[in-house]
Structure 1
Amino acid sequence: MVLYEVTVYTGDRVCAATLNSVHIRLVGTDGKSDRTLLNSLVIFRGSVSTYTFCCSKSIGKLILIELDKRHSCLMPDDDWFPDKVEVKSPEGAIYTFPIHCWISNRETYRFREGKALRIFDESNSSGEHARHQELCQRKETYGWSEESPGVPNCIEADGPCTLPHEVRFSFTKDIEFKFTAGEAVLELDLKGLECSKKNWNSLDAMKHVFCDKHTTLSDYVQNHWMDDGLFAYQFLNGVHPTLIQRCKTLPKNFPVTDDMVFIPGGSNLSNELKQGHVYLCDYKNLDGMPANVVQGIQQYLMAPLVLFHKRPNDKMKPIAIQLKQIPAEDNPIFLPTDCMYDWLTAKIFVKSADFSEHQLNAHLLRTHLLAEVFAVSLLRKLPMVHPLYKLLIPHTRYTLHINELARKQLIGPTGIFTLFAASGGKALTMILARSLSSITYRSLCIPDDIADRDLEDVTDFYYRDDGLKLWNIIYTFVQGVIQHYYKSDEEVQKDSELQSWIRNIFEHGFLSKKESGIPQSFATVSELIKFATMVIFTCSCQHAAVNNGQYDYGAWMPNSPITLQHPPPTKKGTTSEATILQTLPPINVTVQGLTAYWLLSRPSSDFVPLGHYPEDHFTEKTPRQLQRDFKDKLDDVSKQISMRNEGLEIPYTYLDPKSIENSVAI
C-alpha cells in the first residue's frame, strides 16, 4: 500500500464553498486510483484542506485528476470553486493541478497537471484522450453565433445568465455592477429628468445633472469645452486617439485654400502641409449612414473632415471643418474666424460624429468584439494545458459576460445606444460592417498604426508614448514565454491546435478577409509572438485607452453628444445659442447617455490590473518568473507616468498600468 497526500485550495470568493461531497481520482502513467471521497464536512471559502488516502500501488507519474461533486437529499446542490489541487506522491514528487473554475453536480471534471504541453508533447493515451475530450466539450459549450452579416461572430448565448459559470461575473462584480447602474438611475428619477423630453433651456442647466458625480477632468472639460485647444487635444489624448493622421496632401473633397486659413508666423497652408505640420481627421466611415429616429424625431449624423495645425509652440489647433464629404455650396467650410456660434456648431457636429466613430469602431468593434472572438476561439481550440491558453486566458476574464450585457442593454433592440444614439438603429450594424471591412492587422498593432499615421514625432502625444512602452513590455513578456515553449519555427508549424486557433480567429473574427492582413496560420515563432502581443494589448491597454475616459470627456454632454436633432447649417451666419440648444439632444436622451458613461467608467472592487495573475495557470519556474518581471516593469512605467502627469495641466492616466484592467471586463 502507498499513500497519496492531496491538498485542495478552495477559491476565496463569494459562494466558493460547498456542503456537498467531493470525490477525486488520480490518473497516472501506470494506472489510476479508486474514486475516493475527500471531504466529510463543508469545504469552506478560501480554505486549504489536506487529505491522505491509500492506493494498492504507485500509479506512476501523474497525468490528470478527476473531480466530481454530489449532493445528498439533505443538502442543496451548491457549486464549488477550487483554485487548485496539489498531490504529493509516495515518491515525494509534488504535482499541481490548476483548476480556477466552478464544479457543479452534473458531471466529472478532468484537470491536467500544470506543466504546459503542446499537442505533440503528449506521450500518454490518457493525456491525449483528456485533451480531445476537453475540446469536444468546449465546442459544445462555446458555440458561434452570427448576429449580423459583416460583423464578427459572437458567443452563442441568450443573455449573460445562459453563459457557463466560469466566464460569468463573480458575485461581487455582478452586485456592484447592478448597484452602480441603479444608483445613477435613482438619482435621475429623483430629479425628474429621465422622462423629460424637453430641450435644455440653457447650457448652465446641464451642470446640475449628476452634480455629485464628477471628476477633476469632467469639471475641466465643462469649463473649457469651447476652447480650440481642448478640442484638438482630445484627438491625441482623449478617448479616441486612433483616427488623427498627418496630412501632407489635402483630400480632393476637402478644398481648403491658403487664403481661407490663418497660419501664425507668416506661413501658409501649402507650406505647412509640406513641412508636415498639418493633421486630418476624416469620418468617411460614417458617410451615407442613415441617422436614427429618436422619440419620433429624425436625427442627424454627419461625416466631417477636420484639419488641424501644429503651432510653433507645439500646440494643436483646428483650422477648418467641413461637415459632409462632398463639397457643395450648402456644405460650407467652417473656420475659427467665423462667428463664434458657427464655429462652435461645427465643432459640436464633429464631436457627435466622433462619438459614433469612437463607440462603434474604436471601442465596440476593435476592443469588445475582437476580444470576444479571441476568447471564444481560445476556449474552443486550445485546452487548458496548452501554453497559449495559460498565457491568454487571464486576458479574457468577464469579456463574454460584459458583451452579452452590451447586446441586451446597449446595442440590443431596447438598448440605450439603439434607442437614443444617432448611429443607432439601421446605421449601427452598417457602420460595424463597414469598419470591419476596412480593418487591418497593422492598425491593431500600435507601433505599425503610429507609423502608418505618420505620428512618430508629434509632441505631447501621451497615448502614443505610453502605448508604445506598454507594447514593448508586453512583447518582451510574450517573447519570453513563447520562446520557452517553442524553440523553432518548425514547432510552431506542427502545433495543429495553435494553427486551428488562428484559423478560427481569421474565419469568425475577420470573416476570412485576406485583405485585413490577419494571419491565417503561423509559420514562425516571431509571427506568433507578435499576434499574442496584439491580443493582450487589445484586451487590456487598447480597451483602457478608449474606455476609461468616457465619463471624463462625455459627462459634459455638448462635448460628446450622443445624437443631434437638427441638421447642420447650410450657410454661415445662421447660428446662435438658441439653435445650438435646439440641436443638442433633449434632457432624457442626455441623461440616458450620461448613465451609460458613468456605469462603463466604474471599475469593480475585483478589478485585476494588467500584469497581475491571481490565478496560477502556469506552474513552471520560468513563466512564473517572467510574470513577475512583467509586473515589475509595469510598476516602473506606472511610476514614470505618475511623475510626468504631475507637470501636466491635463494628466493622461488611461494607460497607467495600475488603471488598466487585464481584460475587457467593463
Structure 2
Amino acid sequence: MTEVDRNKRMKLEEKKMKGTLILRNNHSVATTFDEFLGRKVSVQLISAVHSESTAKGLRGKLGKETNLKSWKGGDSSFELDFDFEEDIGIPGAFLIVNRHRREFYLKTLTLEHVPNVGRVHFICNSWVYPEEHYDNRYRVFFSNQTYLPEKTPEGLRHFREEELQELRGNGTGKREEWHRIYDYDVYNDLSEPDRGPEHVRPILGGSSEFPYPRRCRTGRAPSKTDPNMESRISILQSLNIYVPKDERFSDLKMADVYAYGIKLVSQGLLPGLESIGDKISDEVVLTLERVLHHKFESISSNNFNEFSSFEDVLKLYKGGLTIPKFSFLESVREKIPSEFFKELFRSDGEQLSKFPVPQVIKEDTSAWQTDEEFGRELLAGICPVVIRRLQEFPPTSTLDPRKFGNHNSTITEDHIKHQLDGFSVLEAIKNNRLFILDHHDPLMPFLRGINETSTKIYATRTILFLQNNGTLIPIAIELSLPHPDGDQFGAISTVHTPASEGRKGTLWLLAKAYANVNDSGYHQLICHWLHTHAAIEPFIIATNRQLSILHPIHKLLHPHFRDTMNINGLSRQTLINAGGLLEKTVFPDKYALEMSCNMYKKWDFTKQALPADLIDRGMAVEDAASPHGVRLIIDDYPFAVDGLEIWSAIKSWVTDYVFVYYKNDEDIQNDNELKSWWEEVVTKGHGDKKDELWWPKMHTREELIESCATIIWVASALHAAVNFGQYPYAGYMPNRPPLSRRLLPEPGTEDYDELETNPEKAFLKTVTPKLQSILGMSLIEILSRHSADEVFLGERDTPEWTTDNEALEAFNNFGANLREIERKIDEMNRDKRLRNRTGPAQMPYTLLYPSSEIGLTGRGIPNSVSI
C-alpha cells in the first residue's frame, strides 16, 4: 500500500464513527432465517443540527442506512460503522427499521468518535416490532439529551411530535400486543354480565354517581348482554392483558409472577389459578380445579375451616397444615405439571405450604392483643394515614340526615372520663390528647347491603388517648348498625370500653377486632388501591401522551411509573373484578369498589402531599420554624417523622431539578407540552374531578415542584408505607382480620357464655375463617415482596439517564440525603424513649427505610407502584 493510499485510508477512518448497539433477541432461529432471506434490521442517524424539507414538513437530515448482521439469541452486542457525513453533523436521534418477522428488545446505542462531540449515547429500553406494525414503518429513538419543547433542535422537532402522536393513537380500535398507545377509559371491565347479575358491578368513572380515575384503554369488544361493559379475557390470558408493550413486566419480574401463581396453587387456593396465565393448558386448569374442589370439600366437611385457638393459627408458621390424602390423585397426576404436583401433593400427605413468621409475632406472640400495640399500629402500622386528632365531642356525622337520619356518636363523657389522666374531655381536646379512628361515615351507606352477604360487620368509631409516655391507647369503641326500621331512622349503637378479663375482656378484644376489620378494608380499598394504584395511572397515561421523552419532566417522573400499568391491569383481571380476590378477602364483598368510588368523591390531589395530609387530619400544624414547615402533634409518630424526612428529600431534589430547566415562572407558562400534560391530567385522567377548585394552575415553578413532588411521594413512599407492611403486620390474621362473620352474641345464648369460657374460640369464630385466612395471607405475602429487579428511591436503572451534569449532581445529592435518613431511622429505632418505634411487639418501624434487599423484608421504598 502506497503512502498516498495509507493517507486516504487514514482520512476515511477519521470519518468513521464507531457504534455499539445492544439488544435482546428471544427468537434467534427465526431472525437468523430472516437474515438468510435478506430481511435486515437497518439504522439511520438523524441530524440534530441540519434539516431538510419533506412531504411531512421540515425534519432532520437522515444519514446512510446501516444494516445489522450476524444475529444470535439472548443479549447481543452489534458493532456498527457509520460514516460521518458533513451535512448530517451531530446526530440527535436515529431511525431503526425491523424487517424481521419477530420483535426484539432494543437497549442502547452508543456512538464513539463523533467529531466535535466524542460520545453520543441513546437509551432505548423498548420493544421494536416488525415494520408493518408501525404507520411510518420505523421507530425513532433520541439521544439522552434533555430539551424543553421550544429549545429542541430544529431537526428533531418533527420527530418529537411524530412520536407523541403515535403514543396518543386515535382513540379507536382494539389494542394489540405491539401497540404503544396510551389512552383513557372508565372501569367498565370489572363485570361479566354474560354470566348473570351476580357478576355485575357498577361502571366506575364517567358519572357523578360513580366518579373514578381513568384506566388504560384496551379497546376490547363489548360484552354480549351489555354494550356498555367491556368483555373480559380468559383466566389463561390474564398476564397478557393489554398495556403498552414497554409498560409490561421485565422477563425477570414475569418469572416472579409465575412463581407466585404456583405458590398460590400449592397452598390449595383456587383463585391462584388466575395468576398462572398461559403456561398451563385448559385441561390442566380444569384438572387442578377438580382437585382443589375436592380438597376444599373435604376440608369443609372435616371442620378444617375453623381455627380452634391462637396456637392453631401459629401452626401455619410451624410446618403447614396436614390435609387428608385423596385416592383419585394418582389418576390425574399425568395431567398436572410436575412442579405443581410436587407442591400440591406431598408424599407424606397433603400439606399447605409453611408461611414465614410475620414480624408482629416474631418476638412476642401475644403483644398484638395489648391496647398499646393497637394504638401504636395506627401511628406505625400498615395504615397510619387515617387517624385524626379529635376536635369535637361527641363526634358528629357528615351523612345527610334526610337520607340517613341521626348518625352522631353516642359516646359520652361518662364512657371515657376515668381514662383521661385527670383531664376533662374539653381539656383533653384542648391539649391535643384525644384522637379518633373514624370508619363510621365511609362504611354506613353500604353496611345494610354488606350484612346481607356472608359478612357481618359494624361501622366503628374508636377514641384514643395520648398518654404521658407518648403512646396511644383506645379508650372507647362505638359499634353501629343501620336502624332495623330503615336508614332514615339513623343508627343503633353500643359503646365498649377497655377490660382485660372475663366476658368484658373478650368483648373489648372483639370490639378492637371489629375496628381493625373496618381499618383493614379501608386500608386495602382506599389508602392502598385508590390513593396509590388507581390515582397514579392517569398521570402515567398523560405523561406518555403529552410529554416527550426529551422533556425534563418526563425524565423526572418516568422511573416512578415503572410496572404500575401492568400491575393495575392484572388487578382489574384477578383482584378487583367482580368475584375477584379482593372481594373474597375483605369485608365489603361485592360493595368493595363501589365503596372506594364513594371515597374518591373526597379525593383532593393537593392533600396527597404529606404535610397537607397531616394538617388536614389535625396531626400537624403549620410552623415555619420547623424543619419541614409543620410541627407534629404527636412527636413520636413514626410514619410522619420518617415520612417528612422523605418528603423533604423528594421536594429538595425536585426543586433542584426543576430549577435546572426553568429559570423563572415565564418558562413554565411558555411550555406547551407541560400545559397540555396538566390539562389532560385534570380534564381526562381525573376528569370526574375537573371542576374542583383545588387543582394547581401550573403557572409557576412552585406549582410544578409541589405537583411533581406529590406524584413521586404517592408512587414511591406512600405506596411503600401502605403496601410492604401487609404481611409483616397482617400475615398474622388475628392482628388485622380482614372480615368478620358474626355480630356480638346475644346475652343468654351459648355463644355469649363462650365469651367467658373459651374466649379464643369465640374470637376466632367471629373473624376470618381458616381457608380465607390462608387465601388472604398468600395474597399479601406476594404483595409484600420486593422483586429481583426492583429499583429503589434514589436509584436509576441506568446511570446515563441524562447528559446534564447539574441534574446528575442534584440526583446524587438526593441519594446522599436518603442514606442519611436511613442512618437517622436506625438511630431512632434504637432509642428506647421512642416507644412507638417498636411497640410491645418489638417490631422496628422500617416501612419508610429507603433501601432493601429483595424478598419479604418489611422495608424499602421502590421508585414506583410496582406490585
With normalisation by structure 2, the TM-score equals 0.71
What is the DSSP-based 3-state SS (H/G/I as helix, E as strand, rest coil) of the residue aligned with 2:81? strand
Q: Distance in 2 between matches of 1:471 and 1:105?
A: 44
What is the DSSP-based 3-state SS (H/G/I as helix, E as strand, rest coil) of the residue aligned with 1:99? strand
Change (3 A) 1:551 1:66: same
Q: Distance in 2 between matches of 1:64 and 1:255?
A: 68
Once the two structures are superposed, what CA deviation does each residue of 1:549-589 show, in whole Å capped at 9, x if it has no partner? 00011111122222211134678994713443332222221
Cα pair 2:447 2:481 within 8 Å, conserved = no
Q: Distance in 2 between matches of 1:556 and 1:259?
A: 35
Q: How does 1:527-546 map to 2 (within 5 A)?
A: 527-546=703-722
What is the DSSP-based 3-state SS (H/G/I as helix, E as strand, rest coil) of the residue aligned with 1:101? strand
Q: Distance in 2 between matches of 1:180 and 1:5?
A: 47
Once the two structures are superposed, what CA deviation does each residue of 1:175-223 show, in whole Å capped at 9, x if it has no partner? 1122133224314479998664433333322222244412333435742
Q: How does 1:305-344 map to 2 (within 5 A)?
A: 305-324=461-480, 330-337=492-499, 339-344=504-509
The equivalent residue for 1:665 is 866
Once the two structures are superposed, what CA deviation does each residue of 1:14-46 show, in whole Å capped at 9, x if it has no partner? 959986743211111335344523432136756
Change (3 A) 1:473 1:331: same
Change (3 A) 1:620 1:84: farther
Change (3 A) 1:634 1:321: same
What is the DSSP-based 3-state SS (H/G/I as helix, E as strand, rest coil) of the residue aligned with 1:506? helix
The equivalent position to 2:43 in structure 1, one of 24, 36, 43, is 24
The equivalent residue for 2:157 is 128
Q: Distance in 1 between matches of 2:84 and 2:693?
A: 55
Are 2:596 and 1:428 equivalent residues in the alignment? Answer: no
Change (3 A) 1:350 1:184: same
Aligned length: 658
Q: Distance in 2 between matches of 1:187 and 1:14?
A: 36
Change (3 A) 1:15 1:399: farther
| Larger mean Cα displacement after TM superposition, 533-542 or 187-196 | 187-196
| Larger mean Cα displacement after TM superposition, 595-604 or 495-504 | 495-504
Q: Distance in 1 between matches of 2:361 and 2:582?
A: 22
Are 2:811 and 1:635 equivalent residues in the alignment? Answer: no
Q: Distance in 1 between matches of 2:745 and 2:679?
A: 49
* Runs of 4+ displaced beyond 6 Å: 189-193, 291-294, 325-329, 570-573
Task: Show structure 1 runs of 5+ residues with no match.
Answer: none
Name the amino acid aligned to 1:22.
Answer: V
The equivalent residue for 1:465 is 641
Cα pair 1:324 1:331 within 8 Å, conserved = yes
Q: Distance in 2 between matches of 1:7 and 1:223?
A: 64
Cα pair 1:291 1:299 within 8 Å, conserved = no
Cα pair 2:122 2:144 within 8 Å, conserved = yes
**1:290 Cα deviation from its structure 2 partner:** 4.8
**1:443 Cα deviation from its structure 2 partner:** 2.4
Paired-residue identity, %: 24
What is the DSSP-based 3-state SS (H/G/I as helix, E as strand, rest coil) of the residue aligned with 1:563? coil
The equivalent residue for 1:454 is 618
Are 2:781 and 1:598 equivalent residues in the alignment? Answer: yes
The equivalent residue for 2:17 is 5
Cα pair 2:436 2:464 within 8 Å, conserved = yes
The equivalent residue for 2:308 is 201
Q: Distance in 2 between matches of 1:247 and 1:300?
A: 28
Name the amino acid aligned to 1:23.
Answer: S
The equivalent residue for 1:610 is 793
Name the amino acid aligned to 2:182.
Answer: Y
Are 2:645 and 1:444 equivalent residues in the alignment? Answer: no
Aligned-CA RMSD value: 2.8
Q: How does 1:348-427 map to 2 (within 5 A)?
A: 348-425=513-590, 427=591
**1:514 Cα deviation from its structure 2 partner:** 5.3
Cα pair 2:19 2:82 within 8 Å, conserved = no
**1:418 Cα deviation from its structure 2 partner:** 2.2
Q: Distance in 1 between matches of 2:430 and 2:658?
A: 44
Once the two structures are superposed, what CA deviation does each residue of 1:81-109 show, in whole Å capped at 9, x if it has no partner? 31343354344443332212122223411
Are 2:80 and 1:51 equivalent residues in the alignment? Answer: yes
Cα pair 1:4 1:90 within 8 Å, conserved = no
Are 2:390 and 1:247 equivalent residues in the alignment? Answer: yes
Q: Distance in 2 between matches of 1:572 and 1:329?
A: 24
**1:51 Cα deviation from its structure 2 partner:** 2.2
The equivalent position to 2:695 in structure 1, one of 497, 502, 519, is 519
Cα pair 2:145 2:550 within 8 Å, conserved = yes
Q: Distance in 1 between matches of 2:448 and 2:482?
A: 17
Cα pair 2:358 2:731 within 8 Å, conserved = no
Q: Distance in 2 between matches of 1:411 and 1:638?
A: 35
The equivalent residue for 2:99 is 70
The equivalent residue for 2:288 is none
Once the two structures are superposed, what CA deviation does each residue of 1:148-173 show, in whole Å capped at 9, x if it has no partner? 13111101136552323211111110
What is the DSSP-based 3-state SS (H/G/I as helix, E as strand, rest coil) of the residue aligned with 2:125? coil
**1:594 Cα deviation from its structure 2 partner:** 0.8
What is the DSSP-based 3-state SS (H/G/I as helix, E as strand, rest coil) of the residue aligned with 2:802? coil
**1:590 Cα deviation from its structure 2 partner:** 1.3
Change (3 A) 1:185 1:292: farther
Name the amino acid aligned to 2:20.
Answer: V
**1:596 Cα deviation from its structure 2 partner:** 0.7
Change (3 A) 1:210 1:410: farther
The equivalent residue for 1:280 is 436
| Larger mean Cα displacement after TM superposition, 28-37 or 429-438 | 28-37
Are 2:110 and 1:85 equivalent residues in the alignment? Answer: yes
Are 2:411 and 1:260 equivalent residues in the alignment? Answer: no
Change (3 A) 1:242 1:570: farther
Q: Distance in 2 between matches of 1:438 and 1:613?
A: 34
Name the amino acid aligned to 1:646.
Answer: R
What is the DSSP-based 3-state SS (H/G/I as helix, E as strand, rest coil) of the residue aligned with 1:100? strand
Cα pair 1:553 1:559 within 8 Å, conserved = yes
With normalisation by structure 1, the TM-score equals 0.92
Name the amino acid aligned to 1:230.
Answer: E
Q: How does 1:120-269 map to 2 (within 5 A)?
A: 120-124=150-154, 126-140=155-169, 141-147=181-187, 148-149=204-205, 150-157=211-218, 160-161=239-240, 162-188=242-268, 196-197=299-300, 198-211=305-318, 212=354, 213-220=356-363, 222-250=365-393, 251-252=395-396, 253-261=408-416, 262-263=418-419, 265-269=421-425
What is the DSSP-based 3-state SS (H/G/I as helix, E as strand, rest coil) of the residue aligned with 1:332? strand
Q: Distance in 1 between matches of 2:813 and 2:311?
A: 50
What is the DSSP-based 3-state SS (H/G/I as helix, E as strand, rest coil) of the residue aligned with 2:474? strand
The equivalent position to 1:483 in structure 2, one of 634, 659, 662, is 659
Task: Show structure 2 runs of 5+ residues with no match.
Answer: 1-11, 52-60, 132-136, 170-180, 188-203, 206-210, 219-232, 270-290, 319-353, 397-407, 484-489, 620-631, 832-837, 852-859
Are 2:765 and 1:582 equivalent residues in the alignment? Answer: yes
Change (3 A) 1:111 1:6: farther
Cα pair 1:193 1:587 within 8 Å, conserved = no
Q: Distance in 1 between matches of 2:667 and 2:747?
A: 65
**1:280 Cα deviation from its structure 2 partner:** 0.7
Name the amino acid aligned to 2:139.
Answer: Y
**1:624 Cα deviation from its structure 2 partner:** 1.5
The equivalent residue for 1:646 is 830
What is the DSSP-based 3-state SS (H/G/I as helix, E as strand, rest coil) of the residue aligned with 1:181? helix
Name the amino acid aligned to 1:7.
Answer: G
**1:80 Cα deviation from its structure 2 partner:** 2.5
**1:414 Cα deviation from its structure 2 partner:** 3.7
Q: Distance in 1 between matches of 2:817 and 2:74?
A: 33
Change (3 A) 1:515 1:342: farther
Larger Rg: 2
Bigger relative contact order (CA 8 A; separation at least 6): 1
